[in-house]
Amino acid sequence: MIRIVGVQRSEDVTQEFVLLQNQGNMRVNLRGHALVADLELLGLEGAGALHLFADDMEIHAGAYVLLRTVPCRNHWSHCPEGQIIYYTSMHRSDLVWSRCEGALHLLKPQHTYCERTTVSAMS
């Protein structure tokens, strides 16, 4: 179960990020999760405070995900305390989280549907 554990709001876009952690006991795939601010849910003209994770990445139990606003290379690393952390980015050059007050929500995929390909069992 991935949860939001921290938000760094800053007037410097290079210092702005959201920190997530897999607090469950199993690996969780990051792809399909969405991070959205209340402003977006209410349909108010916000700062584009919405991010859909496209990373097809398995997040280990206890591992962190650091979502930066500015572009960065997606990669795994270790914190100085030894924790495993996956860095990913919104690829934006403008402030996002510092412009929106209020709650942030992490939405997870409930179901994925994919068309089956027709494969003949008899050749």
- Look at residues 52, 3, 62, 74 and name the one whose alpha carbon lies nearest to residue 27: 62
Q: Provide the pLDDT confidence category of residue 111 given band limits of 50, 70 and 90.
A: confident
DSSP strands (E only) in 17-115: 17-22, 28-29, 34-37, 50-52, 58-59, 64-68, 75-78, 84-89, 104-107
- We find that the CATH architecture of domain 2-107 is Sandwich (2.60)
Per-residue pLDDT averaged across 28-41, rounded?
Answer: 91
Average pLDDT over all residues of the chain: 89
Higher pLDDT, 81 or 68: 68
Specify the pLDDT at position 45: 65
